[in-house]
Structure 1
Amino acid sequence: MTAVTARPRAVRDPIRLPVPRAVRLALLVAHVVATAAWIGLDVALAVLVFVPMLEPSWTAACHQVLPLLFWPLLTVAVLSLLSGVALGLVTRWGLVRYWWVAIKLVLNLVLVTLVVVLLGPGLDDAGRHGRALAAGVPDAVEVPRLFMPPSVSVTLLVLATGLSVWKPRGRVRRTR
């Protein structure tokens, strides 16, 4: 005789928002594309920062172009943050349920803040410096050393990508 057992009823996750699979996949694609674009823009920023260190005659041209990267960088950074938060809300991983997701969220928040607070003004100063150099006018503005932002950003974004692929185990403890 075969025993019929009742299937356990699916427990609904109170935090996860139910959305169609196509929406989750679209969010995932948006997140991956935004993060890849962010890495690409950071590499472009690094090229524009490091080329004048190797060839000083390129300083004026490279520094004039730097401010043009601010809005694209901020756009993809915010898109990466928003799509990541949305993914956290609609997938089983949650926002702060697993350490790797929480770390990615913190990294993203820190990097977006640094783009606005430190990188934006630094790019503007570099642009002013580049325009003054191109005009042959001595510039009294101290140009910030911009080699750190792309180096740190690319490193942290690659780390976040590695966490997404590796998905190390370990849930965030809940205190009760």
Structure 2
Amino acid sequence: MRDPVRWPVPVAARRSMLTLHVVSTAAWLGLDVALGVLVFVPMANPALTAACYQVLPLLFWPVLTAGLLALLSGVGIGVMTRWGLVRHWWVAAKLVMNLLLLVLIALLLHPALTDAGEFGRALATGTPTTVEVPRIFMPPVVSTTVLLVATVLSVWKPKGRVSRRR
């Protein structure tokens, strides 16, 4: 099967897109680690629960922005290079993982972080709250794991193309 005709893309544009992709993905991974620290520290030291939980909502927009930048730059790389978007299994898998994480961030993480912040403020002021203690240890574990798997796929680039039946 022949590759589709591609327009020439300057090397500087491809390298810039790759740099943006690596930096945004590294930022996303770092933000997930920070999220994990803020979630797991109160388990070890309950005195820090109020402070950690109040900070959690501040991470939503940076995490979402880093994820969107990783998605957009990844699509740009796929369009600009021979790897394509869904030509190879590892690229298609990374695309699906990125989309899945972004949906989870928007639909599940945002309300959980909002509740955590509210709980943290109530705990700090001693105000009774109707908000349950959020259980948000899974998001940083799942997201960090998925991002590490995506990184391994990017480095090892396992062989295999997506079959196209006509």
TM (norm. structure 2) is: 0.96
Q: Which amino acid aligns with 1:155?
A: T
Of 86, 109, 115, 1:96 maps to 86
Aligned-pair RMSD on alpha carbons? Answer: 1.1
In the TM superposition, 1:136-147 aligns within 5 A as 136-147=126-137
2:155 aligns to what? Answer: 165
Residue-by-residue CA offset, 1:82-124 (whole Å, 9 max, x unaligned): 0000100000000000000000000000001111110011000
- The CA deviation at 1:144 is 2.4
* 4+ residue runs over 4 A deviation: none
- The CA deviation at 1:19 is 1.1
Of 108, 130, 142, 1:152 maps to 142
Greater C-alpha radius of gyration: 1
For 2:36 and 2:85, the matched residues in 1 are separated by: 31
2:112 aligns to what? Answer: 122
Q: Secondary structure at the match of 1:143?
A: coil
Q: Which amino acid aligns with 1:32?
A: V
Q: Does 1:28 align with 2:18?
A: yes
For 1:12 and 1:19, the matched residues in 2 are separated by: 16
Of 13, 27, 34, 2:4 maps to 13
Decide whether aligned partners of structure 1 residues 107 and 24 sit closer, same or farther in structure 2, where only a CA change above 3 A counts: same
Q: Which amino acid aligns with 1:158?
A: L
- The CA deviation at 1:13 is 2.8
Q: Which has the higher helix share?
A: 2
Q: Does 1:87 align with 2:77?
A: yes
For 1:126 and 1:166, the matched residues in 2 are separated by: 38
For 1:110 and 1:170, the matched residues in 2 are separated by: 22
Residue-by-residue CA offset, 1:19-59 (whole Å, 9 max, x unaligned): 10110000000000000000000000000000011111101
Decide whether aligned partners of structure 1 residues 109 and 12 sit closer, same or farther in structure 2, where only a CA change above 3 A counts: closer
For 2:142 and 2:54, the matched residues in 1 are separated by: 22
Decide whether aligned partners of structure 1 residues 110 and 65 sit closer, same or farther in structure 2, where only a CA change above 3 A counts: same
2:123 aligns to what? Answer: 133
Q: Does 1:105 align with 2:121?
A: no
For 2:144 and 2:30, the matched residues in 1 are separated by: 9
TM (norm. structure 1) is: 0.91
Q: Which amino acid aligns with 2:50?
A: A
User: Identity percentage over the alignment?
Assistant: 65
Q: Secondary structure at the match of 2:4?
A: coil
1:6 aligns to what? Answer: none
For 2:87 and 2:75, the matched residues in 1 are separated by: 13
Q: Secondary structure at the match of 1:144?
A: coil
